[in-house]
């Protein structure tokens, strides 16, 4: 394959380079994957207005998300096990994002730890928090993120229990991978991935091992994660987490206007309209499908961000036109990482930036700040 020109090209490359169980982990949704598909398909249904004979010089995509400057309104989503798409994946993706001038969000369920990522970056990154039943561990995570000077806490609300993803069960997914003949074969057929993985010590959940009580080895870790996500998490918890954190707070996983209004009342800085990339409630509406209703409900009271199904700069622009102040990409950056490490993440960001820039110009706008529903047909 020649130079990757679209996110699809990076996906095809990643499929060739990443062992099946980890590629499938990224490329999967819950149950029938209908919401996963709808996230992408619903963007294609939105049509742009072509405008002509307007000045297209001096264009700018630079803006801010929660008051922090960004070179374009696209952040990297928190994704678990990123260090299994490519050795040291979180550290490489964070560096690519930093150089590009966009936020990187580190997942609680990352392979590289908060401290690992802090050691290779100069600017603050964002940290995503899953609330576990072990509250001492949660408090410690918040404090570690503060110590690492993370500049936003992204609190995920839509994973109190885990949605079922058939591919992961069939593949027997784990980190580090099991050493059964099937798993050994999947890795042996990806020698480049193996070589890099042998060159790093980071092969398990380093935010957790050595930090959470009773997690000292890997066999106890799998028990711990399946038992630890807190099914009782409530709006009251948001209050104490906000207070303990004391910095900018983003609530992730809002898909309903009623929940969006509740989110406003917490005093959070932003919400992310999200269905977890179609990985939790299959049958839920696509994120882009819900965005207008949520913007109409709370858009003047809180910053509204969105993730799910963004595969091009055109998708970002459509989301911005419908009122999103920021967007996030999950799989597009994971495919870039699996395809070509740090360079692949930069390529993913570059593809999206170019597509957004040209589309904005052809819609007759020069500045992302001027993009609104007027660039859409029948909006
Ligand atoms: C492989 C993978 C792992 C993910 N892990 C997390 C996670 O640890 N925490 C979280 O809040 N969201 C997680 N998500 C959801 C993403 O943050 C984001 O909501 C989703 O990927 C956006 O959709 P997109 O992949 O279509 O861009 C994960 C998504 C994927 C694809």
Cα-to-centroid distance, 328 and ligand 1 (Å): 9
Contact 330, 369 (CB under 8 A): no
Q: Is the pLDDT of residue 379 over 80?
A: no
Q: Is the separation of the CB atoms in 270 and 304 below 8 Å?
A: yes
Q: Cis link prior to 176 (omega < 30° from 0)?
A: yes
Distance 77 CA to ligand 1 centre (A): 6
* pLDDT for 173: 85
pLDDT of residue 225: 75
* Contact present, 131 and 100 (Cβ < 8 Å): no
Torsion of CA 347, 350, 356, 359, to 10 degrees: -80
Contact partners, residue 322, CB within 8 Å, separation at least 6: 46, 288, 291, 292, 295, 373, 376, 379
Residues 178-219: tens digit of each pLDDT:
889 999 999 999 999 999 999 999 999 999 988 988 777 666
Find the 95 Cα to ligand 1 centroid distance in Å. 19
Give the residue extent of every domain in the chain.
7-375
Of the listed ranges 18-32, 111-125, 212-226, the one predicted with least confidence: 212-226
Q: Which residues pair with 229 in a beta bridge?
A: 132
Residue 258 is predicted with a pLDDT of 98
Pocket of ligand 1 (CB under 6 A): 25-26, 39, 77-80, 107, 109, 128, 156, 252, 274, 276-277, 279, 307-310, 329-331
- Which pLDDT value is given to residue 319? 98
Q: What is the pLDDT of residue 217?
A: 66
The share of the chain scoring above pLDDT 70, in percent, equals 98
Which has the minimum average pLDDT: 111-125, 169-183, 271-285, 309-323? 169-183
What are the backbone angles phi and psi of residue 197, rounded to the nearest 5°? -70, -35
SS3 state of residue 357: helix
The pLDDT value recorded for residue 176 is 79
Q: What local confidence, expressed as pLDDT, does residue 227 receive?
A: 82
Which residues lie across from 129 on neighbouring strands?
155
Q: pTM for this one?
A: 0.97
Which residue has the least CA distance to atom 11 on ligand 1? 156
- Tell me which residue has tokens 């299959």: 282
C-alpha to C-alpha distance for 342 and 196, rounded to whole angstroms: 13
**Average pLDDT in the chain:** 95
Topology annotation, domain 7-375? TIM Barrel (3.20.20)
Examine the pLDDT at 144 and tell me if it is beyond 70.
yes
Looking at the predicted structure, is the pLDDT value of residue 229 above 90? no
Percent of the chain with pLDDT over 90: 89
Query: Tokens 């609680």 label which residue?
Result: 108
Atom of ligand 1 nearest to the CA of 105: 17
Tokens describing residue 259: 């929940």
- Residue appearing with tokens 């303990």: 244
Least confident window among 43-52, 147-156, 215-224, 272-281 = 215-224
Average pLDDT, integer, range 225-238: 89
Residue 333 token pair: 């950056």
On whether the CB atoms of residues 252 and 275 are closer than 8 A, the answer is no
**Do residues 165 and 279 lie in contact, with contact meaning Cβ atoms separated by under 8 Å?**
yes
The confidence score (pLDDT) of residue 376 equals: 98
> Per-residue confidence at 378, pLDDT binned at 50, 70, 90?
confident
- The answer to whether 2 is a known ligand-binding residue is no
CB-based contacts of 332, cutoff 8 Å, min separation 6: 7, 10, 310, 311, 348, 352
pLDDT surpassing 90 at residue 316: yes
The string of pLDDT tens digits covering residues 242-262 is: 999 999 999 999 999 999 999
Measure the N-to-C terminal CA separation of the chain; round to a whole number of Å: 38
Q: How far is the CA of 277 from the centre of ligand 1 (A)?
A: 6
Rounded Cα gap, residues 128 and 109, in angstroms: 9
Instruction: Tell me whether residue 276 is one of the annotated catalytic residues.
Output: yes
For ligand 1, atom 4, name the residue with the nearest CA: 79
Look at residues 274, 233, 270 and name the one whose alpha carbon lies nearest to residue 255: 274
Give 27-45 pLDDT, tens digit per residue.
Answer: 999 999 999 999 999 999 9
Distance CA 245, CA 318 (A): 33
What's the pLDDT band for 177 if we cut at 50, 70, 90? confident
Determine the 3-state secondary structure of 98 from DSSP. Answer: helix
- H helical segments located in the chain: 7-17, 20-26, 34-44, 89-100, 114-120, 135-147, 166-171, 181-188, 191-198, 218-228, 235-245, 257-265, 287-298, 313-321, 331-362
| Residue 339 near residue 26 (C-beta atoms within 8 A) | no
Given a cut of 70, is residue 220 above it in pLDDT? no
Closest residue CA from atom 7 of ligand 1: 79
The three-class DSSP label of residue 229 is: strand
d(CA 27, CA 173): 13
Q: Would you say 310 is a known binding-site residue?
A: yes
Using pLDDT thresholds of 50, 70 and 90, give the confidence band for residue 263.
Answer: very high
Sign of the C-alpha dihedral, residues 331, 116, 306, 317?
negative
358-375 pLDDT per residue, tens: 999 999 999 999 999 999
């Amino acid at each position: 394959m020649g130079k990757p020109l679209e996110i699809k090209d990076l996906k095809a490359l990643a499929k060739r380079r990443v062992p099946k169980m980890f590629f499938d982990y990224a490329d999967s949704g819950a149950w029938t994957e209908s919401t996963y598909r709808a996230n992408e398909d619903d963007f294609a249904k939105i049509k742009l207005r072509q405008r002509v004979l307007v000045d297209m010089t001096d264009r700018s995509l630079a803006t801010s998300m929660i008051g922090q400057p960004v070179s374009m309104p696209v952040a990297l989503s928190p994704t678990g096990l990123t260090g299994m798409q490519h050795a040291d994946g979180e550290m490489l993706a964070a560096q690519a994002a930093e150089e590009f001038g966009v936020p990187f969000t580190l997942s609680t369920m990352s392979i590289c730890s908060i401290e690992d990522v802090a050691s290779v970056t100069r600017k603050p990154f964002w940290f995503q928090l899953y609330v576990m039943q072990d509250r001492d561990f949660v408090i410690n995570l918040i404090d570690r993120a503060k110590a690492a000077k993370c500049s936003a806490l992204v609190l995920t609300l839509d994973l109190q229990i885990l949605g079922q993803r058939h591919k992961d069960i069939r593949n027997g997914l784990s980190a580090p991978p099991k050493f059964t003949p099937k798993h050994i074969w999947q890795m042996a057929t990806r020698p480049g991935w193996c070589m890099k993985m042998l060159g790093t010590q980071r092969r398990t959940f380093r935010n957790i091992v050595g930090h959470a009580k009773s997690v000292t080895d890997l066999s106890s870790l799998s028990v711990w994660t399946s038992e630890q996500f807190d099914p009782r998490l409530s709006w009251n918890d948001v209050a104490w987490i906000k207070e303990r954190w004391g910095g900018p707070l983003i609530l992730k996983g809002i898909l309903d206007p009623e929940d969006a209004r509740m989110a406003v009342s917490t005093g959070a800085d932003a919400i992310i309209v999200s269905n977890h990339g179609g990985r939790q409630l299959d049958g839920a509406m696509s994120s882009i499908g819900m965005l207008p209703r949520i913007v109409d409900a709370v858009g003047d009271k809180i910053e509204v961000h969105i993730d799910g199904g963004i595969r091009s700069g055109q998708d970002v622009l459509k989301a911005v036109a419908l009122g999103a102040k920021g967007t996030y990409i999950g799989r597009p950056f994971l495919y870039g990482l699996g395809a070509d490490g740090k360079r692949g993440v930069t390529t993913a960001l570059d593809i999206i930036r170019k597509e957004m820039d040209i589309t904005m110009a052809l819609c007759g706008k020069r500045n992302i700040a001027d993009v609104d529903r007027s660039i859409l047909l029948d909006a």
